[in-house]
Copies of this chain bind each other. A is one copy, B any other.
Amino acid sequence: MQRIEGGICAVPGVRASGVRKGKYGLALIAASGSAAGMFTTNKVRAAPLEVTAQSLANSGHLDGVIANSGCANAYTGIRGMEDARAMAGLLAGFLGTDEKKIATASTGVIGRYMDMPLITRLFEEAKAMLRSDASASQDAERAIMTTDTRVKEIAVEHRGVRVAGIVKGAGMIEPNMATMLCFLYTDADFPSSTLHDCLADAVQDSFNMLTVDGDTSTNDTVLITATGRTRAQVEDFREALRYVCIELARMMARDGEGASKYFETSVTGAVSVLDARLAAKAVANSSLVKTAVYGADPNWGRIICAVGYSGARMDPEKVTLGLEGRGLRISLVERGQIVDGVLSSAKEIMSGDTITINVDLGLGSGEARAFGCDLTHEYVNVNANYTT
């Protein structure tokens, strides 16, 4: 797996641009090919998701994406649907295609109508800037950021196939991909059904194992478009896509709202993969574990406690628990027995900004990994006054 420069514009056939006006931004991506998408599991699904899902179901082909930040266009009824279709229409008109081949996506405050005159002004600016270079990928990314603090993009080449993506999403991330927008591109030549199959696999191990605050948004969207310039083996593509999605999930956890530290929870020895997922997610999502990570408090009982209520099958006497970080790797519990004399090393590890929590349930061969961040004063700052 080779990392390359250029973000999504590293994939031949992709052009991008993005503009911002304060809280509001608009990104355009032009790329034609077969496409697939995944959307939030929230029963309240924002208008742009309905429009995009219909387009994908219709043709399995996209010519472009138009995405805005600042207003989620969620819970906006018929007017919201009309606004989402009008957004698609703007880009379709410019690209000379059908609005049903354009995906739309939105992120921001829920329950507010779109400011369509503003969107139109931003669109006029952005369409003039559509291009294919590294700065274009970053402009598109910056245009859809909300509380994100940094650009999150990646491009790889793996056995001749390129896969690249940009992602936004800092809070409301859990479970099953929340307030995240992710636009993925490949130059491979696969039909929509293959793309969907590989995407579902990749999302399972990446965005669905990511948690910032336990809230699932109304607007999550992950889209992949294949520009079809290269013939590739499906397994090579699957591997590259999985890698890209996991790396993007890690970037999102590191950039979680108010996050000062990143931690991964690796669960092994579970009865099944589902058990491993449940346990890993429960630890990553525990407010008590997250505040302990923030405070570098080696209060490992909270980890065991989270595993205990996760729903995963466990036997407390078979659990082995360890911590890794700052070049150290220690065991706190060995098959149910508390290990003495390691709390100062634990404190040292917890003081680092990247921590791995290793939980071996000692029961089977199920494994999973969850991506999370600490819960900080800054998280409270960011979220206590979001709309005001």
* Contact yes or no, B316 A43, CB < 8 A: yes
Complex Cα distance, B346 from A344, in Å, reads 49
Q: Are A291 and B384 interface neighbours, CB within 8 A?
A: yes
> With an 8 A cutoff between CB atoms, is A99 at the interface?
no
CB < 8 Å neighbour of A385 from B75, B295, B309: B295
> How many Å from the CB of A385 to the closest CB on chain B?
4
State which of A6-14, A88-96, A214-222, A240-248 sits at the interface with chain B.
Answer: A214-222
Quick check: B380 and A376 within 8 Å, CB to CB?
A: yes
Contact indicator A44/B75 (Cβ below 8 Å): no
Verify if A30 is at the interface (C-beta below 8 Å from B): no
Which residues of the other chain, B, contact A77 by a CB distance below 8 angstroms?
Answer: 317, 336-338
Give the A interface residue count (CB, 8 A): 63
- Of the candidates B302, B314, B333, B387, the one whose C-beta lies within 8 Å of that of A43 is B314
Q: Does A154 contact B (CB under 8 A)?
A: no
A72 to chain B, nearest CB (A): 7
Asked if residues B297 and A388 are in contact (CB atoms below 8 Å), the reply is yes
**Which residue on chain B has the smallest CB distance to residue A374?**
B384
Q: Tell me, yes or no, whether A120 is within 8 Å of chain B by CB.
A: no
Contact present for B304 and A111 (CB under 8 Å) = yes
State whether the Cβ of A305 lies closer than 8 Å to any Cβ in chain B.
yes
Distance of A44 Cα from B388 Cα, bound (Å):
42
Q: Measured between alpha carbons, how far is A11 from B225 in the docked complex, in Å?
A: 70
Contact of A44 among B45, B215, B304, B387 (CB under 8 A): B304
Are A301 and B216 in touch, CB under 8 angstroms? no
A-B contact pairs, 13 of them (CB 8 A): A43-B308, A75-B304, A75-B338, A109-B299, A110-B304, A111-B300, A172-B288, A215-B302, A216-B309, A218-B305, A294-B380, A297-B388, A299-B387
New A-B contacts (12) at CB < 8 Å, excluding given A42-B309, A111-B301, A218-B308: A42-B308, A44-B314, A75-B316, A77-B336, A215-B302, A215-B306, A287-B287, A287-B379, A295-B383, A297-B385, A297-B386, A299-B386
